[in-house]
Amino acid sequence: MKKLLLIIFATSVFFSCRKEANEISLQIRVQNTSAFAIESIILVSETGAAPYETQYQYGNLGSNQMSNYQSQQVVMRMPTCKFKVNGKLLQFVPRCAVGLQELAVGRYTLKISTDELGNITYPELIRD
């Protein structure tokens, strides 16, 4: 009887650990590394079916602020990001999606920056 209980316990632990491993997702947060507030931040994530993209709202970030992580679907190596600076809509779209790989599961920080004229510095995506 003790052996049976031990086997049941070991099996349940194994499957519960396996379930947690499968629940890990792709998560991205945004960091504003500029001296200016960035508003209405949106990251665009690819999907496998219509409508083929999902937009994730990150809200507003003041200078040197960081958002919370958000779980996302399929994201290419450099995601499209849209935001406003001083009411001016700006967006960064990767030059060429051909040959870009999907991000692996894990946590990432997308660092975005702009100047007072609305020039976007090339975003930096780092794995945390």
Q: In the structure encoding, which two tokens stand for residue 85, read together?
A: 């600076």
Asked if pLDDT for residue 21 goes beyond 90, the answer is no
Q: Which among 127, 123, 125 is positioned nearest to 93, based on CA atoms?
A: 123
Q: What is the pLDDT of residues 47-71, one digit of tens each?
A: 666 677 889 999 999 999 999 999 9
Asked if pLDDT for residue 4 goes beyond 60, the answer is no
Reply yes or no on domain 24-127 having CATH 2.60.40.2890. Answer: yes
Looking at residue 123, its pLDDT comes to 87
pTM for the full model?
0.75
Task: Name the 3-class secondary structure at 127.
Answer: strand
